[in-house]
Structure 1
Amino acid sequence: MLTKRQNFLETIHGGKPDRFVKQYEALHLLMTPAYQAQNPIGVNSRGPAPGGEAVNSWGVTIKFVEGHPGPFPLHDDAHKVVKDITKWKSVVKMPRTDYPASDWEQYVKIAGAVDRENVFCTVGYFCGLFEQTHYLMGIDDCLAAFYEEPEAMHELVEFITEYELKYAEGVCKYLKPDALFHHDDWGTQISTFMSPAMFDEFYLDSYKKVYAYYKSHGVEIIVHHSDSYAATLVPQMIEMGVDVFQGCTTQNNVPDLVKKYGGKISFMGDLNNGVLDKGDWTKELVRSEVERACRNNGKLYYIPCLTMGGPGSTFPGVYEAVNEEIDRMSKELF
């Protein structure tokens, strides 16, 4: 029987996996001191607890409204960091990345305990280049600024890219990860936030720099999370060095993507949280959706997974039920 790591590699490289990869089983996620400052609640937290709020290292106020699936930035006039994109340099300050070795100790210890023969030691990066841009100013202002003030937007994106590269230096020096799990939501359920041409203009080169840095420093696998429609950006993902597009919702027509791009990139998702991860979820619905996804996408270049950007689910039991059904489909199809 292949290890989880071996089975993952066989799947994404078109080899001979002996079962479906079970969601995030092959990725052991860990964080960094800079990430903790960016999300100042705890080592493994992505922000404030339900009902709370916090200001992160970029000066963005994050609030977790009770009853919502996660925390979001506040963009009313009192909290928006960038109110005039032409004056962004006066208000946006780069968070520190020069953490001493002592601050890395607890993370190095966690990384050292990862069984790298069985799983990938995977560093997580949340709030990527596009998300960081609109976290600072709000999604409406951000999208308008691409048209109205492209020069200032190019400068801001380059500034955020510089931060990501400095962040990567510490990660690769101290943690030496095998894989990167990078978040950046690029679309809604029906479309991307920008055209491929606009994405190319503002983000493609930056992502090529960031992902090239990680790959030149020992990172074997890059998983990019965007739980949205992003089918029209798959060629860009391939060009920037993404190995796995995680979060690909059913609206992407994942079986078609597997047929068209399998061998150049793999797909991890096609089990929408909006369909399965809800208060009235049932095992019957989970069974039906997992079977559909596994049969339609096949054994290679596809990993059945909830589209959420990390192991777990909003409602208790959903993630585990999906795993059980993936095991069932492995017995049937392998």
Structure 2
Amino acid sequence: MLTAKQNMREAIKGGNPDRFVNQFEAIYFLFHPFMMHSPSPTKGQENVVNAWGVTNSFPANVPGAFPVHTPDKIVVKDIEHWQDYVHAPSLKFSNEEWAQWKAQYDAVDGTQAYKAPFIAPGLFEQSHHLCGMTNALEYYALYPDEMHDLIEYLTDWELELAEGICANLHPDAIFHHDDWGSEKSTFLRPEMFAEFFLEPYKKIYGYYHDHGVELIFHHSDSYCATLIPYMIEMGIDVWQGCMESNNVPELVKKYGGKIAFMGGIDNKSMDFPGWTKEDCAKATRKACDACGSKYFIPCITQGGPGSVFPGAYAALCEEIDKYSEEVFGVKADQIKRLPWQILF
């Protein structure tokens, strides 16, 4: 039987997986020193300022943290003078600090899972974190020169981060967040998106690929079907978070072999108050029957293992294993599970 990592590689490359890949089973999320130098709120905390000066809150009654954009807390007060407000945090860390993180990477069994540093927010998200969403969308249309300059500044910072990660931690994958749309549409029309983000991401993802990273997982839990040609050109190997609204089965048929798709199971399909195992089984069968096991990984669309409502993610994992037994004849108790793969 293939290891989780081998099976994921076979699915992504269109080879011969011996079962359905089970969500995030073959991605070991890891971190890097900057994460410890930029505070983020835990559940119940509010108005925590990170290293970029962005204020974030995580109220107890919501599923995740978000930027606070009251007028007094927006970082960029004047887009024409954004340089006065945006100051990139330092990425100069001691050898001892890098070594502490490297020890965690070395402790992971690389035959079982990809060692993937978690990187967020991405370029688009960072732009609206700094400016506010409404302001940022207006600026892309009305102040394109300033936004190009801001994105170049953010890109240079990400490239420096990539250099540190690759030189010190040697991951074989990265997991990069940047939400590019809502459930029904992209935030920018495709041509405008490409104008601002195609070349910057080609630089960032090209750097990772050129320095030992096998797979780029890009998370965007949204509608982004119209951006896939750009994703491929950027060097994205797996689009994680592809919502059902994208018609994922058609995307697999059209683009399989150029990019793989990880998602197809919206939270709303099995992660809601009163969810049941039957909901998880139904969502699993629908996605797997429609998309198959090649170029597709059945997965919740949120950007990491877990669920909003306790137990839903674990139940979905169980149903995927059950369906693998039904389709491939692989018994669930034969599948080797590492401790970190069953935490959720």
Question: TM exceeds 0.5?
Answer: yes
Determine if the alignment matches structure 1 residue 62 to structure 2 residue 56. Answer: yes
Which whole-Å CA distance do the structure 2 matches of 1:312 and 1:293 have between them? 19
Counterpart of 2:175, as a letter, is F
Q: Could you say which residue in structure 1 is the equivalent of 2:160?
A: 166
Q: Could you say which residue in structure 2 is the equivalent of 1:233?
A: 227
Q: Could you say which residue in structure 1 is the equivalent of 2:20?
A: 20
Aligned residues: 328
One of 220, 237, 241 as aligned partner of 1:243: 237
Counterpart of 2:107, as a letter, is A
Q: How does 1:243-262 map to 2 (within 5 A)?
A: 243-262=237-256
Counterpart of 1:37, as a letter, is H
TM-score by length of 1: 0.96
One of 122, 126, 133 as aligned partner of 1:132: 126
Q: Report the secondary structure of 2:176's partner residue.
A: strand
Q: Report the secondary structure of 2:11's partner residue.
A: helix
Q: How does 1:223-302 map to 2 (within 5 A)?
A: 223-302=217-296
Q: Cα deviation per residue 1:207-242 (whole Å; 9 max; x = unaligned)?
A: 000000001110000000000000000111100111
Which whole-Å CA distance do the structure 1 matches of 2:270 and 2:77 have between them? 38
Post-superposition offset of 1:37: 2.0
Which whole-Å CA distance do the structure 2 matches of 1:254 and 1:212 have between them? 26
Q: Could you say which residue in structure 1 is the equivalent of 2:331?
A: none
Q: Could you say which residue in structure 2 is the equivalent of 1:44?
A: none
Q: Report the secondary structure of 1:59's partner residue.
A: coil
Q: Cα deviation per residue 1:124-170 (whole Å; 9 max; x = unaligned)?
A: 10110000000001110000001111100000000000010001111
Which whole-Å CA distance do the structure 2 matches of 1:125 and 1:188 have between them? 21
Contact 1:48 1:54 survives alignment (8 Å): no
Post-superposition offset of 1:272: 0.6
Post-superposition offset of 1:50: 2.2
Q: Could you say which residue in structure 1 is the equivalent of 2:83?
A: 89
TM-score by length of 2: 0.94
RMSD: 0.9
Contact 1:276 1:285 survives alignment (8 Å): yes
Post-superposition offset of 1:279: 2.1
Post-superposition offset of 1:206: 0.2
Q: Report the secondary structure of 2:174's partner residue.
A: strand
Counterpart of 1:333, as a letter, is V
Contact 1:283 1:321 survives alignment (8 Å): yes
Q: Could you say which residue in structure 1 is the equivalent of 2:181?
A: 187
Which whole-Å CA distance do the structure 2 matches of 1:90 and 1:51 have between them? 29
Which whole-Å CA distance do the structure 1 matches of 2:45 and 2:115 have between them? 32
Determine if the alignment matches structure 1 residue 144 to structure 2 residue 135. Answer: no
Counterpart of 2:167, as a letter, is K
Contact 2:219 2:240 survives alignment (8 Å): yes
Counterpart of 1:2, as a letter, is L
Counterpart of 1:309, as a letter, is G
Structure 1 segments of 4+ aligned residues over 4 angstroms from their partners: none
Contact 1:48 1:62 survives alignment (8 Å): no
Which whole-Å CA distance do the structure 2 matches of 1:56 and 1:200 have between them? 29
Which whole-Å CA distance do the structure 1 matches of 2:280 and 2:44 have between them? 27
Which whole-Å CA distance do the structure 1 matches of 2:214 and 2:235 have between them? 10
Post-superposition offset of 1:117: 1.3
Post-superposition offset of 1:275: 2.7
Post-superposition offset of 1:284: 1.1
Contact 2:47 2:68 survives alignment (8 Å): no
Contact 2:11 2:295 survives alignment (8 Å): yes
